[in-house]
């Protein structure tokens, strides 16, 4: 397969100027919005509440978790479909650990995905761990971060 380059764009708009800009650390809000051409929803963003952010808005750390979880799920579902495994439900509650350093900077040390998968037949359960492992190897986002992306998944057969 030949290599392809993909580019992504979006619009980020800071909405937190309370009239004095960044004249002081507490003179502005961390609020901002993400949008993209052709998309239906504007995503409200802020910083984590620990850093003077609005807790009702998504922070960058949550969006990183969302990106990893979503990418993994999409690859996993693809792999299930090509392996004749019928997934009937999928949910995840990822958890990320970030270390804030003495200097005030920080970095993620790991993310753990916790997908809960429901499949149509009991025989399909056996292959699920292998496909999670494979999805992690294919996930564009997991391949782009410098910390481990771990898995604590469960799978169950649900009668229709």
68 lies in the same domain as 54: no
21 lies in the same domain as 44: yes
> Which structural domain range is residue 152 located in?
60-157
40 lies in the same domain as 85: no
Determine the pLDDT at residue 2: 84
Determine the pLDDT at residue 141: 97
127-136: long-range contacts (C-beta < 8 A, 24 or more apart)? Answer: 127/83, 127/85, 128/85, 128/153, 128/155, 129/153, 129/155, 131/76, 131/79, 131/80, 131/83, 131/85, 132/72, 132/76, 134/75, 134/79, 135/72, 135/75, 135/76, 135/79, 136/72
Determine the pLDDT at residue 26: 92
How many domains in the chain? Answer: 2
68 lies in the same domain as 132: yes
For the chain (160 residues), the mean pLDDT of every run of 10, in chain order, is 88 93 93 93 95 95 97 97 96 96 95 96 94 96 97 89
38 lies in the same domain as 105: no
Of the candidates 66, 62, 24, 27, the residue with the CA atom closest to the CA atom of residue 46: 62
Determine the pLDDT at residue 159: 82
53 lies in the same domain as 72: no
């Amino acid at each position: 397969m030949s290599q392809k380059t993909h580019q992504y764009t979006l619009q980020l708009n800071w909405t937190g100027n309370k009239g004095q800009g960044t004249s002081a650390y507490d003179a502005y809000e961390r609020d901002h919005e993400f949008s993209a051409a052709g998309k239906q929803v504007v995503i409200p963003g802020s910083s984590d509440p620990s850093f003077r952010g609005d807790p009702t808005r998504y922070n960058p750390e949550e969006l990183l978790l969302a990106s990893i979880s979503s990418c993994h799920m999409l690859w996993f579902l693809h792999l299930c479909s090509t392996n004749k495994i019928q997934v009937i439900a999928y949910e995840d509650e990822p958890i990320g650990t970030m270390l804030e350093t003495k200097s005030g900077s920080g970095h993620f040390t790991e993310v753990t995905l916790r997908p809960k998968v429901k499949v149509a037949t009991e025989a399909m359960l056996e292959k699920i761990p292998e496909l999670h492992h494979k999805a992690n190897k294919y996930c564009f986002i997991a391949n782009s971060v410098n910390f481990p992306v771990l898995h604590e998944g469960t799978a169950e057969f649900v009668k229709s």
